[in-house]
Amino acid sequence: ADGTVVFSDWMTGYGMILIVDHGNGYMSLYAHNDTLLKDAGARVSRGDAVAKVGNSGGQGVTALYFELRRGGQPVNPDSWLQRR
């Protein structure tokens, strides 16, 4: 979903992390990246590349940490993710 990048930097425990505010209290987090492609304040749309996956933040292997939150509480992302 479209949104605005509200954080794009290093965070202890998450490494290189990017957080997108989608409005209505929804935020998505993408962590342990190698490279962040968007800066805070950037508008993003569905399908935009926002980062390159990596193993920052103490991650032993290349992996993506994804989280969806609403009002600060975790949300099951199943209904948001398009099945392919």
Q: Is residue 81 part of a domain?
A: no
- Cα 75 → chain centroid: 14
Q: Is residue 10 part of a domain?
A: yes
Contact 65, 51 (CB under 8 A): no
Q: Is residue 80 part of a domain?
A: no
Q: Could you tell me the pLDDT band of residue 84, with boundaries at 50, 70 and 90?
A: low
pLDDT of residue 83: 63
User: Where residue 51 sits, what CATH number does that domain have?
Assistant: 2.70.70.10
Q: Which domain holds residue 56?
A: 3-75
Q: How far apart are CA 77 and CA 80, in angstroms?
A: 5
Q: How many domains, the chain? A: 1
Q: Is residue 84 part of a domain?
A: no
Q: How far apart are CA 55 and CA 79, in angstroms?
A: 27
pLDDT of residue 57: 87
Q: Is residue 15 part of a domain?
A: yes
Is the pLDDT at 78 greater than 90, yes or no?
Answer: no
CA distances from 5 to 61, 83, 84 (A): 26, 24, 26
Q: Could you tell me the pLDDT band of residue 18, with boundaries at 50, 70 and 90?
A: very high
pTM over 0.85: yes
Secondary structure in 3-state letters for 53-69: EECCCCCCCCECEEEEE
